Amino acid sequence: MCGFARIIANNFAGETSSVENDAQPIDFGTVKEHELGEIVKRRREANVASERDADGHNKSPESDLVGLALSGGGVRSASFNLGVLQSLYQKGILRHVDYMSTVSGGGYVGSSLSSLALHPETEFNWKTEDQSSSNGDEDATEQPHDQWPLTPKEDGRQPSRVLELIHGGHYLRRPLIFLNRYLVGVLLTNVVALSLVFAVAALAAWMFRYLDHTWMINWLFALGFQGDIGRAFFPMTFFFFMWLVMWAISYWRSGAQAEGRVARWFMTLTIVSLLLACAALLGTGDVSLTHLRDNYGIEPPSDMVRLIGGELKTYFVIGLVIALIPYLRIKDLIRSGTRPRTAVEGWVFGIASRALLYGIPLLIFGWLARENISHFNENRTQTRHAQVFNTQHDFVPLDFRDWSGTWQEIELQATELSQSEENGRFAVSRRIWDSVNHTDVAESRTLLKELSDFDREASLLKRWLLYVGYAITRQSNAVTDQFERREDYLTLRRSICNDLTETILSDPGFYKEFQHADSALAIELAGMSSEAKNKRLNNIEGLYVEAQHLEKKVDNLADGGLAFNDWRSQRNELLHRLDVSQESGVTENVMQTREKLGDLMRMSGGEYAKLENEIKSLNWQLMLNYWGDRFSPKSTVYAMVCLQADQATRWNWFLWSLGFFLLSSCVVNMNSTSLHGFYRNMLSKMWITECPGIGRRIPLARLETVARGAPYHLIAATVHLIGRRRRTDRSTTDSFVFSQLFCGSNRTGYVPTENYMNGRFDLSNAMALSGAAVSPTQVQNPLLAVLLMLTNSRLGQWLPNPGHKAVAGAWLDRIISWFSPVPLRLILGALQNAEQRNYCFVSDGGHHENLALEPLLLRRCRLIIASDVTGDSEYEFRDFIRLLRRMRFEHGIRIVGINGRNSGVPLDKLTPERLQPDSFIDATETDLANRLSVSNFAASHYFIVRICYPDDGPTGSPREGWLIYLKPNFTGDEAVDLTRYQLEDPAFPHDPTSDQFYDPQKFESYRQLGFHISNTMCYEQFQGYRQFDKNVSMSQWSPANLQSTQQGDAPDEAIAEDSKPCKNSSSNRDNATKSSKPVKKGQPR
């Protein structure tokens, strides 16, 4: 069975998610140690000088690591950073980069570079000084551009690979492919969700309708919850009372420190039971108010109540449909839930989301909780001793609208009036009265009066106090007497109705009692119009004639000389004997008696039974036309009549829905049904270069970029630690890194990439996951999260957790591991801590840190070049500030100004003048003059800050480093086509990330701006470097303006603790007079 489940899951999912968990997760220190070995290999291939110690041995590269961070931002970031990479390569800086950390959109172009590095035709041409000088000193500072697929020509022409990217900006616009993937995901996701909703709703309806059982009804009547309305709101009342009790206990035990933990569950149950009660009443529509007549003599307005109930049901459905209309524009609805432009949009989202998440389940519950869901009322049957009897027209107690008043009138007409009237116009009443036990009728009326008297006099509080006393002492009291009276009352009513069915409705000659119905109706219907009287009389006359024909049919029916009445007598005798045997427990001759009963029911092909049903139907119609205001039609639905069949139907709904949910939750792969596959395939076709023998699905374990001298690629995503966590002193997210050697995070641990998912996890999946921006786990609003899930608006993936620990035996854990990330497995995994579950949810790296800087800072890089292309049209630097803050309080890494103080971080250098705090220019102006004026220019394209690492780092790691921070802006030195492009696109260079469809003009403008900004930075900060000299090292690099900056800074009298200079900053100040030119191997310092 397990193998079969595995086959189904694997075939359905397409991609299994197996992982080897035999080994313990690897810590970050071990990961970094192995990575340093790769950095040594990379530097050797890139002809980068290695530092030597006093003994002449090569130093570990740990002391002078260089990192490049490409931020998120979709196609905006990818196109901009394409220009940055082109510039860094052309200026020879890229060969010094040890780590390339990417996230989201930066991962597109980063993955493109990594895939190019694996292509055998790609030549990086990391040239030595001797090779460079052969072309002349002047050319030695520029990288030959004709060998690398991304290098532009000297005349500005772009290579074919870059042109493919420029003209392929609409790669996601594949509507048919998208819809094909999207719709099947929506269907399968909602199959799981709806089957669960139906299962829960059916179980809730089944439990709720237990209130309609006779025993429960009798107790609730005794306790003061009478009628359909009172009974429906009993659970709410009970839970509300328990909520108060739990709070009282909590206050009594803890006083002002009371938290009410148990009480909150009863508050939730109170709200839920209130909603269920309203839904059940709306689903029924027709509620019984007969207790008003019995207790207070008030005639219930049944017709009005039925009308109001039907209208409320209609209004609820119409209101629900109107509330769901916004789903026709699902994109705008989701946006209104995350970033509402107006208060009205927020209200629309709130109403629409609650209509879906609350209204639809309540509608399903109301439909399942409605009376007569089994349609038993139209096909009433009863199974007795393995034989099915048609009871459609049998008398039931609820057929009497006014039990006491009806029997009072029947008795009066059958006794006193009939004595004075010799014409027999009250023959029907006399026949009915003679067919029942007069003592039972009198006793039932007496019990009803006693019941009503108690209900009028006893308060609700008195009833419950008496019930509590009974529960404690188990001694009978007034409330238990009331319960017993009602039990006896209902028993007598059922007995009387059975007598009427056997002696009246089943009698072929009962129609004769209606011979003088016209004279009786003249008195009975004195207040009715003549037209209505005539209609009644005509109906009775027609039925009278039909009954005469039916009587002849009865006389003609005889099987072996057995008359119809004799057949009824024998059948009733056999049923009575079987009932007695069942009650006494005697089994002797039971089988023979049942066989006789079966033969009798099948006699003449069942014609006797069919004829009996016809007789009962015709006699019931006669009674209804004669006493239409005394009896309810058979179309009236009563819960007590349909309860058994309805409960069986609800239970079947529950079992089928639960089975369907379990089946679907075992085969519907949450990864395969998401949009990740579409997103990954489109990104791969656009950005990944196809490698011979591998294709575009390049396994991460084979991403040996360092073998070509290219940077070691770190692809940053976000792991969401949902639910219960082992540690609560950390965020619910963490940076999940994919690389050639290891995959994992600090919170979950790491596993070797060659073992992760059997080594089949590839570059395109990592790139797509790093940019999986749409994720239900990211939003704070739970309504929006469920909406994103139901609409299949999700791009993240459930991946094997590197830190998974089995909670069961090895054999059980191995069986569970066969399942892909299906809902059932994810639900079971939620029982563990988030860090140790089978699967962890991984999505866009920007959900944790959108600059790709954290992996480089944790590796203590000495120099980091960061390209921030996050959407920041107002230059608020939110992502950078969040990173700065978290690095400080979680890791002790401080990012401070070049002068060593927090106050020196020059954010204003990258901010346009119009957005400066002291600017007098209206920042909202978007007219031509403003966008072309100097007010739109910033002071610089980048700034440099100091990184202060904590002292507890590994031996040999730096205590400080430098961060070169680039951001797209204008300073006035750009080409005219760039400045003029902003006239066409005022949002440039901060177009919204939601726009992923770039035309060639926009794509090229971003690439050109990135190329220009990087060139400017390289010219100003790396001007003195002969970039392709093997002996050139960046181990002693420092900012070109460090000297002037430090000389102009006056130290403060007092500096806050978190703003103190780096511990080694004094040595840097001593070296302030040194040149920023590189130090060559063997050159005296």
Query: Residue 1040: its pLDDT value, please?
Result: 77
- In order of 104, 435, 653, 773, the CA distances from 846 in angstroms are 7, 84, 44, 8
Residue with the bigger pLDDT between 842 and 838: it is 842
Tell me which of 300-309, 725-734, 737-746, 824-833 is least confident: 300-309
Whether the predicted pLDDT of 252 surpasses 80: yes
Task: Please check whether residues 287 and 228 belong to one and the same domain.
Answer: yes
Q: Are 221 and 480 in contact (CB under 8 A)?
A: no
Q: Which two tokens stand for residue 763?
A: 């570059």
Query: Beta 712-720 vs 99-103: how paired, if at all?
Result: parallel
The answer to the question of residue 390 being in a domain is yes
Query: Beta 749-752 vs 742-745: how paired, if at all?
Result: antiparallel
Instruction: Report which of 1058, 1066, 854, 858 is spatially closest to residue 953, judged by C-alpha positions.
Output: 858
Residue 865 has φ and ψ, to the nearest 5°, of -105, 115
Count of domains in the chain? 3
Confidence of residue 774 (pLDDT cuts 50, 70, 90): confident
Task: Please check whether residues 396 and 435 belong to one and the same domain.
Answer: yes
Of 418-422, 485-489, 589-593, 994-998, the range with the highest mean pLDDT is 485-489
Whether the predicted pLDDT of 619 surpasses 70: yes
- Which DSSP helix (H) or strand (E) runs through 960? strand 960-966
Tell me which of 68-72, 800-804, 1067-1071 is least confident: 1067-1071
**What is the 3 state secondary structure string of 789-812?**
HHCCCCCCEEEECCCCCCCCCHHH
**Per-residue burial over 468-493, b = 16 or more CB atoms within 10 Å of its CB, e = otherwise:** eebeeeeeeeebbebbebbbebbebb
Mean predicted confidence (pLDDT) in 175-200: 90
Mean predicted confidence (pLDDT) in 1009-1023: 91
Whether the predicted pLDDT of 557 surpasses 70: yes
Query: Beta 712-720 vs 839-844: how paired, if at all?
Result: antiparallel
Residue with the bigger pLDDT between 123 and 22: it is 123
Report the percent of the chain where pLDDT is more than 90. 39
DSSP 8-state code for residue 913: G
pLDDT tens profile 804-820:
765 555 555 666 666 67
Task: Please check whether residues 354 and 260 belong to one and the same domain.
Answer: yes
The answer to the question of residue 944 being in a domain is yes
Task: Please check whether residues 202 and 129 belong to one and the same domain.
Answer: no
Confidence of residue 70 (pLDDT cuts 50, 70, 90): very high
Residue with the bigger pLDDT between 139 and 324: it is 324
Tell me which of 621-635, 734-748, 958-972 is least confident: 621-635
Task: Please check whether residues 628 and 706 belong to one and the same domain.
Answer: no
**Per-residue burial over 130-162, b = 16 or more CB atoms within 10 Å of its CB, e = otherwise:** eebeeeeeeebbebbbeebbbbbeeeeebbebb
Query: Residue 1016: its pLDDT value, please?
Result: 93
In whole angstroms, how large is the CA radius of gyration of the chain? 42
Whether the predicted pLDDT of 1079 surpasses 70: no
Cis-peptide, bond into residue 912, ω within 30° of zero: no
Whether the predicted pLDDT of 1057 surpasses 50: no
Mean pLDDT taken over the chain: 83
CB contact set of 876 (below 8 Å; sequence gap of 6+): none
Mean predicted confidence (pLDDT) in 33-41: 93
Mean predicted confidence (pLDDT) in 70-93: 93
Task: Please check whether residues 362 and 326 belong to one and the same domain.
Answer: yes
Task: Please check whether residues 734 and 698 belong to one and the same domain.
Answer: yes
Domain boundary among 339, 355, 377: 377
Mean predicted confidence (pLDDT) in 776-796: 80
Give the helix ranges, DSSP H, for 119-213. Answer: 129-133, 160-166, 175-208
Instruction: Report which of 32, 46, 153 is spatially closest to residue 93, judged by C-alpha positions.
Output: 46
CB contact set of 153 (below 8 Å; sequence gap of 6+): 145, 159
Q: Are 21 and 799 in contact (CB under 8 A)?
A: no
Query: Residue 692: its pLDDT value, please?
Result: 87
Residues 515, 247: Cα–Cα separation, whole Å? 70
Confidence of residue 269 (pLDDT cuts 50, 70, 90): very high
Whether the predicted pLDDT of 274 surpasses 80: yes
The answer to the question of residue 267 being in a domain is yes
Q: Are 790 and 674 in contact (CB under 8 A)?
A: no
The answer to the question of residue 1016 being in a domain is yes
Give the CATH number, domain containing residue 107. Answer: 3.40.1090
The answer to the question of residue 559 being in a domain is no
Domain boundary among 319, 351, 377: 377
Residues 1032, 1078: Cα–Cα separation, whole Å? 6
pLDDT tens profile 94-113:
989 999 999 999 999 999 99
Instruction: Report which of 1014, 1010, 1075 is spatially closest to residue 88, judged by C-alpha positions.
Output: 1014
Give long-range contacts, CB 8 A cutoff, 24+ apart: 149-158: 149/116, 149/119, 149/122, 149/689, 150/82, 150/85, 150/86, 150/89, 150/113, 150/116, 151/86, 151/89, 151/90, 152/86, 152/90, 152/1011
52 bridge partner residues: 58
Whether the predicted pLDDT of 497 surpasses 90: yes
> Could you write out the DSSP letters of every residue in 623-640?
HHHHSTTTB--TTS--HH
Whether the predicted pLDDT of 209 surpasses 90: yes
Task: Please check whether residues 116 and 260 belong to one and the same domain.
Answer: no
- Which DSSP helix (H) or strand (E) runs through 102? strand 99-103
Query: Residue 1063: its pLDDT value, please?
Result: 57
The answer to the question of residue 566 being in a domain is no
Task: Please check whether residues 373 and 391 belong to one and the same domain.
Answer: no
Identity of the residue numbered 357: L
DSSP 8-state code for residue 994: T
Instruction: Report which of 701, 667, 695, 670 is spatially closest to residue 681, judged by C-alpha positions.
Output: 695
- In order of 92, 692, 708, 1035, the CA distances from 132 in angstroms are 12, 31, 19, 22
Query: Residue 1064: its pLDDT value, please?
Result: 52
Residue 818 has φ and ψ, to the nearest 5°, of -65, -25
Instruction: Report which of 1006, 867, 907 is spatially closest to residue 104, judged by C-alpha positions.
Output: 867
> Could you write out the DSSP letters of every residue in 840-894?
EEEEEGGGT-TTS-HHHHHTT-SEEEEE--SS-TT---HHHHHHHHHIIIII--E
The answer to the question of residue 557 being in a domain is no
Q: How many CA atoms lie within 13 A of 512 on its CB side?
A: 5
Residue with the bigger pLDDT between 572 and 628: it is 572
Task: Please check whether residues 322 and 226 belong to one and the same domain.
Answer: yes
The answer to the question of residue 831 being in a domain is yes
Residues 149, 132: Cα–Cα separation, whole Å? 20
Dihedral over alpha carbons 675, 676, 680, 682 (to 10 degrees): 10
Give the domain extent around 313: 197-377
- In order of 200, 201, 527, 641, 986, the CA distances from 208 in angstroms are 12, 10, 43, 16, 60
Residue 691 has φ and ψ, to the nearest 5°, of -100, 135
Query: Residue 818: its pLDDT value, please?
Result: 66
Task: Please check whether residues 297 and 367 belong to one and the same domain.
Answer: yes
Query: Residue 530: its pLDDT value, please?
Result: 77
Give the helix ranges, DSSP H, for 255-359. Answer: 261-284, 290-296, 302-324, 330-338, 343-354
Mean predicted confidence (pLDDT) in 963-968: 96
* Dihedral (CA of 698, 704, 708, 712) sign: positive
Helix axis angle for 175-208 and 782-790, nearest 10°, is 120
Whether the predicted pLDDT of 1053 surpasses 80: no
Confidence of residue 1048 (pLDDT cuts 50, 70, 90): very low
Give long-range contacts, CB 8 A cutoff, 24+ apart: 971-979: 971/937, 971/938, 971/939, 971/940, 971/941, 972/934, 972/937, 973/1012, 973/1016, 974/1009, 974/1012, 975/1008, 975/1012, 977/1005, 977/1008, 978/1005, 978/1008, 978/1009, 978/1012, 979/932
Mean predicted confidence (pLDDT) in 844-863: 94
Residues 194, 188: Cα–Cα separation, whole Å? 10
Residue with the bigger pLDDT between 950 and 956: it is 950
Beta strand residue intervals within 378-470, DSSP E: 381-384, 387-390
Whether the predicted pLDDT of 564 surpasses 70: yes
Tell me which of 49-58, 491-500, 918-927 is least confident: 918-927
Domain boundary among 353, 377, 401: 377
State the residue for tokens 């090569």: 58
> Could you write out the DSSP letters of every residue in 699-758?
BGGG--GGGGTPPEEEEEEEEE--SS-S-SSS-SEEEEEE-SSEEEETTTEEEETTTGGG
Tell me which of 9-18, 765-774, 833-842 is least confident: 9-18
Task: Please check whether residues 421 and 461 belong to one and the same domain.
Answer: yes
pLDDT tens profile 659-679:
999 999 888 988 888 888 888
- Which DSSP helix (H) or strand (E) runs through 492? helix 478-500
Dihedral over alpha carbons 436, 442, 445, 451 (to 10 degrees): -130
865 bridge partner residues: 68, 964
**What is the 3 state secondary structure string of 1037-1084?**
CCCCCHHHHHHHCCCCCCCCHHHCCCCCHHHHHHHHHCCCCCECCCCC
Q: Are 626 and 521 in contact (CB under 8 A)?
A: yes
